Amino acid sequence: MGPVRKTQKKYCSIVLFLAIIIAACFIITGYKPVGKGLITGTLASILNFVLMGETIPLRLGHARRKTFIISLGSVYFRYIIMGIPIFFAIKMAEISLIATVIGIFSVQILILSEHLAKIILSTRKKTGFIKK
Protein backbone atom coordinates (compact mmCIF):
# COMPACT_ATOMS: atom_id res chain seq x y z
CA MET A 1 0.00 0.00 0.00
CA GLY A 2 1.46 3.32 -1.07
CA PRO A 3 1.77 6.41 1.09
CA VAL A 4 -1.24 8.10 -0.54
CA ARG A 5 -3.45 5.08 0.15
CA LYS A 6 -2.22 4.87 3.76
CA THR A 7 -3.03 8.54 4.29
CA GLN A 8 -6.44 8.15 2.69
CA LYS A 9 -7.25 5.08 4.78
CA LYS A 10 -6.10 6.76 8.00
CA TYR A 11 -8.07 9.97 7.64
CA CYS A 12 -11.14 8.52 5.94
CA SER A 13 -11.53 5.77 8.53
CA ILE A 14 -11.31 8.20 11.42
CA VAL A 15 -13.69 10.71 9.81
CA LEU A 16 -16.26 8.07 8.92
CA PHE A 17 -16.12 6.54 12.41
CA LEU A 18 -16.58 9.94 14.07
CA ALA A 19 -19.37 10.93 11.69
CA ILE A 20 -21.28 7.72 12.35
CA ILE A 21 -20.97 8.12 16.13
CA ILE A 22 -21.95 11.80 16.09
CA ALA A 23 -24.78 11.22 13.60
CA ALA A 24 -26.11 8.32 15.68
CA CYS A 25 -26.19 10.60 18.73
CA PHE A 26 -28.15 13.23 16.78
CA ILE A 27 -30.56 10.64 15.37
CA ILE A 28 -31.16 9.08 18.80
CA THR A 29 -31.88 12.49 20.32
CA GLY A 30 -34.41 13.25 17.59
CA TYR A 31 -32.35 15.38 15.21
CA LYS A 32 -32.52 13.06 12.21
CA PRO A 33 -31.90 15.79 9.59
CA VAL A 34 -28.65 16.77 11.31
CA GLY A 35 -27.46 13.17 11.44
CA LYS A 36 -28.37 12.56 7.80
CA GLY A 37 -26.69 15.79 6.73
CA LEU A 38 -23.50 14.96 8.59
CA ILE A 39 -23.28 11.49 7.03
CA THR A 40 -24.11 12.80 3.55
CA GLY A 41 -21.51 15.56 3.72
CA THR A 42 -18.88 13.24 5.20
CA LEU A 43 -19.34 10.68 2.43
CA ALA A 44 -18.91 13.44 -0.18
CA SER A 45 -15.80 14.66 1.65
CA ILE A 46 -14.30 11.18 1.70
CA LEU A 47 -15.05 10.67 -1.99
CA ASN A 48 -13.46 14.03 -2.78
CA PHE A 49 -10.34 13.18 -0.75
CA VAL A 50 -9.95 9.78 -2.43
CA LEU A 51 -10.45 11.24 -5.92
CA MET A 52 -7.88 13.93 -5.19
CA GLY A 53 -5.33 11.27 -4.29
CA GLU A 54 -6.19 9.10 -7.29
CA THR A 55 -5.83 11.92 -9.82
CA ILE A 56 -2.37 13.03 -8.66
CA PRO A 57 -0.55 10.44 -10.83
CA LEU A 58 -2.64 11.46 -13.86
CA ARG A 59 -1.20 14.96 -13.71
CA LEU A 60 2.44 13.90 -13.68
CA GLY A 61 4.57 13.35 -16.76
CA HIS A 62 2.38 15.11 -19.31
CA ALA A 63 2.79 18.25 -21.36
CA ARG A 64 1.87 21.48 -19.65
CA ARG A 65 -1.37 21.95 -21.57
CA LYS A 66 -2.57 18.39 -20.95
CA THR A 67 -1.70 18.66 -17.25
CA PHE A 68 -3.71 21.88 -17.03
CA ILE A 69 -6.75 20.29 -18.70
CA ILE A 70 -6.58 17.19 -16.49
CA SER A 71 -6.22 19.32 -13.36
CA LEU A 72 -9.06 21.62 -14.31
CA GLY A 73 -11.32 18.69 -15.18
CA SER A 74 -10.50 17.03 -11.88
CA VAL A 75 -11.33 20.16 -9.93
CA TYR A 76 -14.63 20.67 -11.77
CA PHE A 77 -15.61 17.04 -11.27
CA ARG A 78 -14.83 17.24 -7.54
CA TYR A 79 -16.84 20.48 -7.25
CA ILE A 80 -19.81 18.71 -8.82
CA ILE A 81 -19.43 15.88 -6.32
CA MET A 82 -19.37 18.40 -3.46
CA GLY A 83 -22.36 20.23 -4.88
CA ILE A 84 -24.64 17.19 -5.05
CA PRO A 85 -25.13 16.81 -1.26
CA ILE A 86 -25.54 20.58 -0.90
CA PHE A 87 -28.20 20.56 -3.62
CA PHE A 88 -30.11 17.74 -1.92
CA ALA A 89 -29.79 19.42 1.48
CA ILE A 90 -31.29 22.59 0.05
CA LYS A 91 -34.13 20.75 -1.71
CA MET A 92 -34.98 18.24 1.02
CA ALA A 93 -36.12 19.12 4.53
CA GLU A 94 -34.94 15.70 5.74
CA ILE A 95 -31.27 16.74 5.40
CA SER A 96 -29.75 19.65 7.33
CA LEU A 97 -27.79 22.06 5.14
CA ILE A 98 -25.48 23.21 7.94
CA ALA A 99 -24.67 19.63 8.98
CA THR A 100 -24.03 18.73 5.33
CA VAL A 101 -21.56 21.60 4.96
CA ILE A 102 -19.81 20.61 8.19
CA GLY A 103 -19.60 17.03 6.90
CA ILE A 104 -18.14 18.25 3.60
CA PHE A 105 -15.29 19.86 5.50
CA SER A 106 -14.81 16.95 7.91
CA VAL A 107 -11.65 15.51 6.34
CA GLN A 108 -10.04 18.95 6.20
CA ILE A 109 -11.08 19.67 9.80
CA LEU A 110 -9.52 16.39 10.96
CA ILE A 111 -6.24 17.03 9.11
CA LEU A 112 -5.97 20.57 10.48
CA SER A 113 -6.85 19.39 14.00
CA GLU A 114 -4.18 16.71 13.91
CA HIS A 115 -1.50 19.13 12.75
CA LEU A 116 -2.57 21.73 15.31
CA ALA A 117 -2.37 19.12 18.08
CA LYS A 118 1.13 18.13 16.92
CA ILE A 119 2.25 21.77 16.95
CA ILE A 120 0.84 22.35 20.43
CA LEU A 121 2.40 19.18 21.82
CA SER A 122 5.80 19.86 20.25
CA THR A 123 5.75 23.43 21.59
CA ARG A 124 4.92 22.19 25.08
CA LYS A 125 7.74 19.64 24.95
CA LYS A 126 10.22 22.36 23.91
CA THR A 127 9.11 24.75 26.65
CA GLY A 128 9.15 22.06 29.34
CA PHE A 129 5.43 21.88 30.09
CA ILE A 130 5.42 18.19 29.20
CA LYS A 131 8.13 16.11 30.79
CA LYS A 132 9.36 12.91 29.19
Q: Provide the pLDDT for residue 70.
A: 84
Which is higher by pLDDT, 96 or 1? 96
Using an 8 Å Cβ cutoff, are 34 and 45 in contact?
no
Question: Is the pLDDT assigned to residue 122 strictly greater than 90?
Answer: no
Residue 56 pLDDT class (50, 70, 90 cuts): confident
Using an 8 Å Cβ cutoff, are 103 and 37 in contact?
yes
| 71-83 pLDDT tens trace | 888 899 999 999 9
